[in-house]
Structure 1
Amino acid sequence: MNIIIMSRLIAAITLFLSIALTILVTVFCSVPIILAGIIKLLMPFPAAWRVISTFCNFMMYCWCEGLAALLKLNPHLKWDVVGLEGLSKKNWYLLICNHYSWADIVVLCVLFRKHIPMNKYFLKQQLAWIPFIGLACWALDMPFMRRYSRSYLLRHPERRGKDVETTRRSCEKFRHHPTTIVNFVEGSRFTEAKSQQLRSPFKHLLPPKAAGIAMALNVLGSQFDKMLNVTLCYPENNATPFFDMLSGKLTRIVVRIDLLPVAEELHGDYVNDKNFKRQFQLWLNALWSEKDNLLEAIKQQYKKAGQ
C-alpha cells in the first residue's frame, strides 16, 4: 500500500513540475518570437524578414530543447526509432504523420530538432486563441486551418476552398529557407468514437484529408527533397499518452520514418482537376492502409513482448 501511495505522490509531483516547466519554457520562448513577428510586420523588407525568421526558428529550437528536458522527467522512457538516417537541415521536407495525442507534437519536435529544419505545423483555427502559443505560431508563419462541416459548406458555398488558399499563401513564405511542413493528415486526433462516426476503413487511423498536402506539393513540390511518412505509436501507454508523459509514466515511444520521393505525379491542381484529385486520394489512401498495417504489427509486437 505504501508503494502505491508513494507512486501516486511521485506522479503528482512530476505532473506539477511538468506543467510548470512547460509553461515557463513556452513563455520564455514565445514572447521573443511574438515581438519579432510584430517587428516583421513593421519592416516590409525581405532581407529583414529572413533575419527575423532565422531568429524565430532559433527560439523554436530552444523550445524543443525545453520539451526534451520535459521528457527526461519520464525515467523509464525508451525510444524505438527507425529511419533517421540521411536527413539534413539543409533540405525541404513535407512530413505527414498519424495523430493520436497531444504528445505527438512534443515527440516530433524533440525527435527531429537536430535532424531537419524547424517544423511548421498545420494548426486548427482554435489554437490561435491559446495564450502565447497562438501568437507565437502566427509569428512563425504556421498556417491556421478552419474546418467546415459538409452541412455548413452547403449553406455557405463561398467558404469552399478557403483552407486550400490558406495553405497556398503559407507555403509561399517557405520558399526562401529550408523548411519542414508538418501535416497531421487525419485533421484530428484518433479516437474510437471519431473512427466510428467517420466510418473509417482503418483500424488505427481516421480517413486522411488530402487537400492540405496536395496544395503544399503543388506550391513547393519542386523544392521538397523528400516526403517523410512518420508513424507514431505509444504501445505501453495507449490510453492516455500525454497525461502519462506529464506524470512521468510514459515508458515507450515507437517511431517509424519512411523517406518517400516527391514523384512528379503528385504535383497537380487538386481543386480544379478532378482526375488528379481522384488519383491523389487513391495514392494517399493506399499509403494510409500501409500505415494502418504497420501500426497493427507494432502493437502486436509489443503485446506479445508484454505477455
Structure 2
Amino acid sequence: MSDIRERKLASSSTPPADTVEVDKDQRPKHGPLVQLLRTVLLAIWFWACILCIFVIQLIGCPLYFIRKDYYYAYMALTKQSFGVLIITITQWGAPTRVRVSGDKSICGELHQTKDGHLKTMFPDRLVLIANHQVYTDWLYLWWIAYSARMHGHLFIILKETLKYIPILGQGMMFYGFIFMARKWQSDKPRLEHRLRKLKTQHSRHLSGSQPFDPMWLMIFPEGTNLSTNSKEKSDEYGQKQGIPIYRHLLLPRSTGLYFCLQQLRATVDYVYDCTLAYEGPPKGSYPDMHFTLRSTYLQGRPPKSVNMHWRRFAISDIPLDNQKEFDIWLRAMWAEKDDLLEQFYNSGRFPSELVDSVNGAPSGGRKSTAAIGYIETDIGLRHWSEIGQIFGITPLLNLL
C-alpha cells in the first residue's frame, strides 16, 4: 500500500452531474411498445424461474433437520441456479462487454478460454470488496464468481429491507445472505452469528480436503451506490470530520468490514478488491443516472463496457488489531481506487500490470488484448445446457 496522498478537503473539481450533457449513445434503443414487450417477456421468464428455484429450495428444507451438511450443499446448488438465471437474462436482454485488468498481485489468476470466456483462478475463500457505482454492480460481480465456479458460494451483505421482497427475500435468506439495518448495536450480533457459520465447516462434500467450506463474502464498504445525493452527504461528512474526500468515490465505512475481517482472518488469506467503472457516461456524470435496471434491461442500453480492475491484499498485511490504523489503511486504499478511476475517465481504461502475463485467446474473430494486460469478453454462460440448473436439475439429482 502506498503512502496516503494529501487531498484537498474542498469539493472536487469534477462538475456536478446535472451540468454534464448526456451521451447521445445512451438514449433508449427501444420505443415504448418494444419496452413494454421486453418488460412482459423478461418478467415472465424471471418470475417463472424464481418460483421454480424457490419451490426447489422448499423441497430441500427438511434436509436441515436431517443432516445440515446436505442442507447447505443443496442450498449452494440452488444459489448456482440463481447465478445462472441473472447471467442468462443479461446475456439475452442486455448483452454486455467486460474488460478486466489488474495489478501484479493477481498475476496468473486471469485467463481467457479458447472460446473467449473469462476464467478466474481466485481462491475458494476470500472477502471481496468493491466501490458501489450502480444497482447492478452485484450482478456483474456474481458473474465473476461464476467465472471461478464460485457462484454457489457467494454471500452478500445487504440492506435489511430487501429481505421483505416476496419470494426473493425468502430465497436470499435460504442463501445465507447477511441483512443489515445499519444500526451497529442490532447488526453486530446478527453479523457475528452469520460469520460464525461462515467459518464453520458444514459439508465435506463442499470442502473436500479443505478445513473450511468455500466462501466469497461480498461487501460494499461505501454502504450505498454513488449518486448526487449520496456524494453530497459523504463529502459533507468528510469535511466535518477532517477526512480527505474523493473525486469519484464515497467515503468507505470501516466498522462492518473491520469486524468481518477480524472474525474471518484465521480462515481467509486474502481480500480481493475490485474497482468498477462504466464506459459511456462522461467524466463528472454519475453512472446511476444512466444505468438503471430499466435502462439496462428494458430500454436496451446497457453500459458500453463494464471495466474491472482487480487487486488483492494479504490478510496478514492488513492492520486488524487497531481500528484507527485500519481506517487509515482503508482510506489510503480508497485513495488509490480514486486515482484508478481518474485514469479511467481520462484514458478510457484502467492501467494494467498484467502485460504478457494474462493467458488470452481471440474471441469471436477479435484479436486478443491479453498481450497488453486485459481480457475482454461478454457476459454469458459457457454452454447453453447450464440453463437446466435454473429448473433444479442439478440440486434435485444430487438430492436423489
Q: TM-score, normalised by structure 2?
A: 0.63
One-letter identity of the residue aligned with 1:31 = V
The one of 141, 146, 151 equivalent to 1:113 is 146
Q: 1:116 and 1:202, CA in 2 relative to 1: closer, same or farther beyond 3 A?
A: farther
Aligned to 2:301: 249
- Offset at residue 286 of structure 1 (A): 0.8
The one of 318, 324, 329 equivalent to 1:283 is 329
Deviation by residue 1:130-152 (Cα, 9 ceiling, x = unmatched): 1112111212221111114xxxx
**In structure 2, how many angstroms separate the alpha carbons of the residues matched to 1:236 and 1:162?**
40
- Offset at residue 116 of structure 1 (A): 5.4
The one of 26, 31, 56 equivalent to 2:55 is 31
Q: Determine if the alignment matches structure 1 residue 127 to structure 2 residue 127.
A: no
Deviation by residue 1:40-63 (Cα, 9 ceiling, x = unmatched): 2xx1x6xx2221111111111111
Aligned to 2:233: 197
Deviation by residue 1:13-36 (Cα, 9 ceiling, x = unmatched): 334433333323322223323553
Q: Percent identity?
A: 18
One-letter identity of the residue aligned with 1:96 = I
Consecutive unaligned residues of structure 2, counting only runs of 5 or more, are: 1-26, 110-119, 202-212, 239-244, 282-286, 350-400
Q: Determine if the alignment matches structure 1 residue 296 to structure 2 residue 347.
A: no
Q: Give 1 or 2: higher helix fraction.
A: 1
**In structure 2, how many angstroms separate the alpha carbons of the residues matched to 1:301 and 1:111?**
24
Count of residue pairs brought into register by the alignment: 277
Aligned to 2:214: 178
Q: Determine if the alignment matches structure 1 residue 206 to structure 2 residue 250.
A: yes
Aligned to 1:258: 311
Q: Counterpart of 1:134 in 2: which secondary structure?
A: helix
Q: 1:143 and 1:193, CA in 2 relative to 1: closer, same or farther beyond 3 A?
A: same
Aligned to 2:277: 233
- Offset at residue 129 of structure 1 (A): 0.2
Q: 1:91 and 1:72, CA in 2 relative to 1: closer, same or farther beyond 3 A?
A: closer
Q: Counterpart of 2:92 in 1: which secondary structure?
A: coil
Q: Determine if the alignment matches structure 1 residue 223 to structure 2 residue 278.
A: no
The one of 173, 188, 191 equivalent to 1:164 is 188
RCO (CA 8 Å, sep 6+): is it higher in 1 or 2? 2
1:74/1:249 contact within 8 Å kept:
no
1:91/1:116 contact within 8 Å kept:
no
Aligned to 1:147: 182
**In structure 1, how many angstroms separate the alpha carbons of the residues matched to 2:97 and 2:28?**
25
Q: 1:295 and 1:13, CA in 2 relative to 1: closer, same or farther beyond 3 A?
A: farther
**In structure 1, how many angstroms separate the alpha carbons of the residues matched to 2:62 and 2:137?**
29
- Offset at residue 302 of structure 1 (A): 2.8
Q: Determine if the alignment matches structure 1 residue 82 to structure 2 residue 134.
A: no
1:198/1:206 contact within 8 Å kept:
yes
Deviation by residue 1:214-236 (Cα, 9 ceiling, x = unmatched): 11111110211321101112221
**In structure 2, how many angstroms separate the alpha carbons of the residues matched to 1:281 and 1:5?**
42
Q: 1:33 and 1:204, CA in 2 relative to 1: closer, same or farther beyond 3 A?
A: farther
Q: Counterpart of 1:188 in 2: which secondary structure?
A: coil
**In structure 2, how many angstroms separate the alpha carbons of the residues matched to 1:297 and 1:164?**
37
RMSD of Structure 2 on Structure 1 (CA): 2.5
